[in-house]
Chain A
Amino acid sequence: MAGMTTVIEAEGLTKRFGATQALAGVDLHADSGRVLALLGPNGAGKTTIVRILATLLKPDAGRARVCGYDVVADATVVRQLLALTGQYASVDEQLTGTENLIMICRLLGFGRPVSRARAREMLERFELTDASARAVRTYSGGMRRRLDLAASLLGEPEVLFLDEPTTGLDPRGRGQMWDTVRGVVAGGATVLLTTQYLDEADELADQIAVIDHGLVVAYGTPAELKGRTGSQTLAVRATDAAHAPQVAAVVAGVVGVPPDVAENGLVTVAVSDPAMVPAVVRRLDDAGIVAAELSLRLPSLDEVFLTLTGHRAEEDGLECEGTAA
């Protein structure tokens, strides 16, 4: 059985693009058959990490191994073990779905009849059979991502890199992508994905590495991270904004921490125990305050960042990291 083999390991990766220090010494590891999520805002360095691990970019310093093979010295071997689905669907827009998959199969060394059969099989699995004979440029965003993922899975990779797999997808598309990733992991592959969404990392990952300014600022299981950030956020707003101080007092009394009070009267606080919600409702009722809004939600990436790094998630505008070299 698989056991706990380390499949991805990186030590002290650094990378500079001109004046921008994209990576400032990144250490990572992922075990076989697990999902590692790199969570962070745009420009944090997530894509640069993926491009280095996928042999598309050489690090300035540090080293990385995939299945024990160095991504620089043994790049050819590493490429036989990985598949990459980039931020922008890496399929040929001018070819049809079938042609795209046949091309990848042929490049992977499959014979013509096998390539045809595998392409057909994959298109069916990803519900693209009806669109198989159409040029990819006519596909919707979700269909492109599915085809892209299908192309990545043709070689049955040991390691699958997914760079922001659900960015720009509608909720249904996201759900489908999540199911597919779970299926791939069930098949035994190791997945490294990047995301800006905490709920996505929470949903899929066994381990989360929070990336900020080219560094891993937090690392752990989703439960561990949530333990540090408060697993959920309670938000309460009274119908009358003037009641905000009383609401804050009630919330502070139940949760035990002073909450944030926004100008519009919205009172928010991180809570670790959902059972606190009914208590807040009861106390507000006792005080005769009517809540216009009362919700319990996962903390946003911004809130996680604030807790973990002490600053808000910024957009550094390093949009084309890795390609702008």
Chain B
Amino acid sequence: MTTLSDSIEGRLPARAAAGTAGGPPRVLRRRIGVRQTLANGLTLAWRNVTQLKHSPEKLMDVTLMPIVFLVLFLYVFGGAVAGSTHAYLELLLPGLVGLIAMFSTVSLGTALCEDIHRGVFDRFRSLPIARSAPLIGAVLGDTVRFCVAMAVLTGFGSALGFRFHTGPLSILAAYGLAYVFYLAVCWISVLIGLIAPSPETVQGISFIGVMPLTFGSSVLLSKTHTMPGWLQAWVSVNPVTHLANSVRALTIGGPLGSNALITLAWAAGIVIVVFPLAMRMYRRRA
């Protein structure tokens, strides 16, 4: 049966065969609640994950990137920076958790920029779901990419001789922190994907942002005293530095300090600023 919730005055044409076999009755609602938004977001995340299942080659970048970075940095810098590759691996791998988290977000904006011009987004916009659901779905769906990248990084690093020095809870906290920060940065990628005129430009813009944030941080080195003053200042405010320092402390030991809290504060700040901007851009493109 077609029924109207009391909050809505209006009329519906009576339909002889209204109602949906086995489905919920049609109750019209004025707004979409948080629970439904999240449920819709999860359904759309499932869409993204299912796409990956059909074309696993899309995971190639997050599979190869950790291996390439690990091998290159380890054998190019290892001896020079830390005296031996083994000593450097302890320093490098936790840092790469931050670096790879950052790099993994780039493709999200590119994919979204492509996706949004397809007809399927018109359907999403005409469905009674939250406006933000397709974007939330895209970000949550990218969790798979993060997990693959981290699994490859950690697995390959362990094969090269990396060992954790902390307990399972600390290790979990390290990856959890990286994931939270990753989700926040994903929104920046979404915003770029919505602003950029073409998928190619998304990549260009993203890398210009990602490069100074990752390489201008403590990701590759823990000591920054040899850098010029301006760079030291940049490195010390760079959130990726705080993330890398947190992951180091939580995986190989050492003082955590306020690094984790600063990382979380940055993540929250990024979402608070970027999410509304992204939604505005998305509405405007609609």
Q: Which residues of A contact B (CB under 8 A)?
A: 1-3, 5, 7, 32-33, 54-57, 67-69, 74, 76-77, 79-84, 86-96, 99, 103-104, 106-110, 114, 117-118, 135, 151, 155-156, 158, 187-190, 323, 325
B50 located at the interface, meaning its Cβ lies under 8 Å from any Cβ of chain A in the complex: yes
Q: Is the CB of B122 within 8 A of A84?
A: yes
- Which residue from chain B places its CB closest to the CB of A58 in the assembled complex? B286
> Which single member of A86, A135, A158, A190 contacts B123 (CB below 8 Å)?
A86
Given contacts A107-B43, A109-B24, A156-B20, whether A89 and B10 have CB atoms under 8 Å apart is: no
How far apart sit A188 and B18, CA to CA, in the bound complex (Å)?
A: 8
Q: Is the CB of B13 within 8 A of A7?
A: yes
Given contacts A80-B26, A89-B119, A103-B47, whether A2 and B13 have CB atoms under 8 Å apart is: yes
Of B29-37, B184-192, B205-213, the segment with at least 4 beta carbons within 8 Å of chain A is B29-37
How far apart sit A95 and B51, CA to CA, in the bound complex (Å)?
A: 6
Question: Which residues 234-286 in B have Cβ within 8 Å of A in the complex?
Answer: 284-286
Interface centre among A55, A90, A188, A189 (most CB of B within 10 A): A90
Q: How many residues of B contact A (CB 8 A)?
A: 49
Tell me, rounded to whole Å, the shortest Cβ–Cβ distance linking B228 to chain A: 47
Q: Is the CB of B17 within 8 A of A90?
A: no
B129 located at the interface, meaning its Cβ lies under 8 Å from any Cβ of chain A in the complex: yes
Interface of A is mostly: loop
Q: Which 7 A-B pairs have the closest CB atoms?
A: A90-B119, A32-B13, A188-B15, A90-B123, A79-B128, A80-B128, A84-B126
Given contacts A76-B30, A107-B129, A188-B18, whether A93 and B118 have CB atoms under 8 Å apart is: yes
How far apart sit A96 and B243, CA to CA, in the bound complex (Å)?
A: 40
How far apart sit A20 and B118, CA to CA, in the bound complex (Å)?
A: 24
Q: Is the CB of A2 within 8 A of B15?
A: yes
Q: Is the CB of B16 within 8 A of A90?
A: no
* Known contacts A68-B12, A103-B47, A189-B15, then 9 further A-B pairs from the complex at CB < 8 Å, ordered by chain A residue: A1-B16, A2-B14, A56-B125, A56-B126, A67-B13, A76-B29, A77-B28, A90-B122, A158-B13
Residues of A within 8 A of B124 (CB): 107
B56 located at the interface, meaning its Cβ lies under 8 Å from any Cβ of chain A in the complex: no
Question: Which residues 158-195 in B have Cβ within 8 Å of A in the complex?
Answer: none
Please name 26 pairs of A and B residues whose Cβ atoms are closer than 8 Å in the assembled complex, sorted by A: A55-B126, A67-B11, A67-B13, A69-B10, A80-B29, A80-B128, A83-B126, A84-B126, A86-B122, A86-B123, A90-B121, A92-B118, A93-B120, A94-B55, A103-B46, A103-B47, A104-B127, A107-B44, A108-B128, A109-B24, A110-B23, A135-B54, A155-B20, A188-B13, A188-B15, A188-B18
How far apart sit A85 and B286, CA to CA, in the bound complex (Å)?
A: 16
> Which single member of A2, A76, A114 contacts B22 (CB below 8 Å)?
A114
B40 located at the interface, meaning its Cβ lies under 8 Å from any Cβ of chain A in the complex: yes
- Which residue from chain A places its CB closest to the CB of B134 in the assembled complex? A107
Tell me, rounded to whole Å, the shortest Cβ–Cβ distance linking A60 to chain B: 15
B8 located at the interface, meaning its Cβ lies under 8 Å from any Cβ of chain A in the complex: yes
Residues of B within 8 A of A118 (CB): 22-23
Tell me, rounded to whole Å, the shortest Cβ–Cβ distance linking B244 to chain A: 35
Q: Is the CB of A158 within 8 A of B29?
A: no
Q: Is the CB of B16 within 8 A of A79?
A: no
- Which residue from chain A places its CB closest to the CB of B13 in the assembled complex? A32
- Which residue from chain B places its CB closest to the CB of A91 in the assembled complex? B120
- Which residue from chain B places its CB closest to the CB of A92 in the assembled complex? B120
